[in-house]
Amino acid sequence: MNQPDGLLDGIRQKILAGTLPKQNCRMTWYGPGTGGICVACDQPIVADDVEVECDLPNGGTIRLHRRCYDIWAAEWPSCEGPDLPASGA
Ligand SMILES: [Zn+2]
């Protein structure tokens, strides 16, 4: 697997910016890509890719490539946004 370094950075930036949520999916669905735009990398999810459709606890739905979903799911718990209260400083 050849994963561009920029993908991880881009996803972390979106988590920090709030474009990607910091919460677990309520439900996830895996299927073939339908040409929709991945919220994580802004690239279309083509039929050769696996599309993950993710229902969020607040009712929203996002679509990502499977590789993007895997990175996002691994990264968001360790991403701290600027809106968190400072503690101990
Ligand atoms: Zn993607």
Q: What is the 3-state secondary structure (H, E, C) of the chain?
A: CCCCHHHHHHHHHHHHHCCCCCCCCCEEEEEECCCCECCCCCCECCCCCEEEEEECCCCCEEEEEHHHHHHHHHHHHHCCCCCCCCCCC
Per-residue model confidence as pLDDT tens digits over 60-87 = 999 999 999 999 999 999 987 555 555 5
- The CA 58 to ligand 1 mean position distance, Å, reads 22
- The CA 40 to ligand 1 mean position distance, Å, reads 5
Q: pTM here?
A: 0.82
- The CA 11 to ligand 1 mean position distance, Å, reads 9
Mean pLDDT of 10-32: 94
Domain positions in the chain:
7-78
Residue 58 has pLDDT above 90, yes or no: no
Mean pLDDT of 45-52: 97
